[in-house]
Structure 1
Amino acid sequence: MIKRLKTFIIPTFLIIVSILTFQKTACAHTNQVYSKKSCNKIAYITIDDGPSKHTDELLNILNKYNVKATFFMIDRNMRLYPQQVRNIIDCGHSAGLHSVSHDINKLYEEDTSAKEEFDANNKTFHEITGKDTKLVRLPYGSKPYMPEKSYETLVEANYKIWDWTIDTQDWKVTSDKIIDNIKVNSKNKENIVILMHEKKQTVQALEAVLKYLIDEGYEFLPIRQDEAPRNYWVVG
């Protein structure tokens, strides 16, 4: 009986310690300031496809450098990792929607299909957090796949569509290549929107990415709900 009790208590204790450790490290306030805000250079770190088993690791690294990011989340993953959704909000990051199906054939089957998916996506987000979000990112970007009518339907529903200016390609390359992609594609650019995903190699690269951008004078901002969207329909 005692052996069985120990078997139950020890894993439970470790789970509680893990939760408390995350709350202490990921959302802790620090007085250390890393940004060199002198050149009016802005970087938006955006992270797609979560939440996942990597979310808390990403949050801890972001917190270490006082960086706020924007997480575009898939419906099924929010249901699988509801605590990570709450952690994202509790740590002061912005939350956006990344569809239900992540399938362009389903998203654009009808003119209203994308809107219906994001409505459902937001409903799940609201159930978990008590909040709503109008920030969206289309799987594979808003061009070339999204028909004009689908775009118009989303805009009429006040969804704010965000694409990116730098694709790290982190879903298929090594951590070193992620860093190289950002160095090359951020050169001589004052405002950048960086596309990342919740991958192991992204976790491995993130700290070096933040250090590099800080040294280059970038200030990091999360995407605000009232911010004018930046997408390929707006900028061409």
Structure 2
Amino acid sequence: MLTHKSNTFFLLAVLFLLSILSFYIEIKGYYFVLIFFFWLLIAVAGSGLIRMNYHLKAHSRSFSSDRKIAITFDDGPTEITPEVLDVLKKNNVKATFFCIGNQIEKHPEIFDRIIAEGHVIGNHSFTHSKNIGFFSKKKMLEEISQTDISITKFLGKKPRYYRPPFGVTNPNIAKALKETKHFVIGWNVRSLDTKIKTEQKILKRIKSRISPGSIILLHDTSLKSLRVLEQLLVFLQENNYEAVTVEQLLEIPAYEN
């Protein structure tokens, strides 16, 4: 498995070898640049694609052949969340919500309802800052611990799941999570429901990627995503899929005892 450590070791080893060879044969400078560019390309891809497990191990799907999938929601709770909960309740489906700490503080009654209706809760940072990829380890620890405190205040127990905002990882995030001992939960079906404009295109994208063991990423932030959820649940039923929580799918405990 290609990791940041092995990628960097490869870079340094090749640069060292080229440096030694340069004493005996002419090595063009652009070879050094190309090697560094190749390293950088892999590092950028690994930081943005959580399934690569480049900086840390992320659980992005189950490899069981059972026709079970997990629907997950990021960025809530919001004003849309109650309608999402209504749809889930109507269809007797439990989901997993990766919640933002400051959103919990804004909508405590909605968050309380998520818990009361038996859905699983995960940590999704406190601010979901666009600059979170540049935060220090200390700042990341604050983001994670603040959200854990907010969740525990309502839930009565500490969450063990963490999902990085935007799916971005880096050495500082990895170090922070190693210290907090959270399980990192990714996905293998990204709906792009915050980017794609029409619900039909979003649904088509999900349908083309779903398979037994999939973890689907949605957001409880728009009516568009709500309508996608309604149609997705019909599709799952028609195709004999069972929607379960991430905890049930991966058999990894969601909370500390």
Which TM-score applies when normalising by structure 1?
Answer: 0.73
- How many equivalent pairs are there? 186
CA distance in 1, matches of 2:158, 2:134: 23
Is residue 216 of structure 2 the alignment partner of residue 194 of structure 1?
A: yes
* Secondary structure of the structure 1 residue equivalent to 2:166: coil
State the Cα distance separating 1:178 from its structure 2 match: 1.8
State the Cα distance separating 1:103 from its structure 2 match: 2.1
* Secondary structure of the structure 2 residue equivalent to 1:95: strand
**2:207 corresponding residue in structure 1:** 183
**1:136 corresponding residue in structure 2:** 162
Gaps in structure 1 of 5+ consecutive residues: 1-38, 230-236
Is residue 197 of structure 2 the alignment partner of residue 171 of structure 1?
A: no
* Secondary structure of the structure 2 residue equivalent to 1:210: helix
CA RMSD of aligned residues (A): 2.0
**1:221 corresponding residue in structure 2:** 244
Q: Percent identity?
A: 31
State the Cα distance separating 1:156 from its structure 2 match: 3.5
State the Cα distance separating 1:127 from its structure 2 match: 2.1
CA distance in 2, matches of 1:71, 1:184: 23
State the Cα distance separating 1:106 from its structure 2 match: 4.0
CA distance in 2, matches of 1:171, 1:196: 8
Asked if 2 retains the 8 angstrom alpha-carbon contact of 1:135 and 1:159, the reply is yes
**2:228 corresponding residue in structure 1:** 205
Gaps in structure 2 of 5+ consecutive residues: 1-64
State the Cα distance separating 1:104 from its structure 2 match: 5.2
CA distance in 2, matches of 1:115, 1:159: 11
Is residue 84 of structure 2 the alignment partner of residue 77 of structure 1?
A: no
Deviates further, 204-213 or 96-105:
96-105
Instruction: Please give the per-residue CA displacement for 1:16-70, whole angstroms capped at 9, x wherever unaligned.
Output: xxxxxxxxxxxxxxxxxxxxxxx71121100000001111110111111111100
CA distance in 1, matches of 2:132, 2:226: 30
Asked if 1 retains the 8 angstrom alpha-carbon contact of 2:199 and 2:225, the reply is yes
**2:78 corresponding residue in structure 1:** 52
Asked if 2 retains the 8 angstrom alpha-carbon contact of 1:45 and 1:193, the reply is yes
**1:160 corresponding residue in structure 2:** 183
Asked if 1 retains the 8 angstrom alpha-carbon contact of 2:133 and 2:170, the reply is no
Deviates further, 109-118 or 40-49:
109-118
CA distance in 2, matches of 1:149, 1:100: 16
Shift in alpha-carbon separation, 1:158–1:133, aligned structure 2, 3 A: same
**2:152 corresponding residue in structure 1:** 126
State the Cα distance separating 1:107 from its structure 2 match: 5.4
Relative to its length, the structure with more helix (as a share) is 2
Which TM-score applies when normalising by structure 2?
Answer: 0.67
Q: Which amino acid aligns with 1:218?
A: Y
State the Cα distance separating 1:223 from its structure 2 match: 2.0
* Secondary structure of the structure 2 residue equivalent to 1:122: helix
- Aligned pair partner of 2:67 in 30, 33, 41: 41
Instruction: Please give the per-residue CA displacement for 1:205-234, whole angstroms capped at 9, x wherever unaligned.
Output: 2111011012222111112298449xxxxx
CA distance in 1, matches of 2:191, 2:67: 19
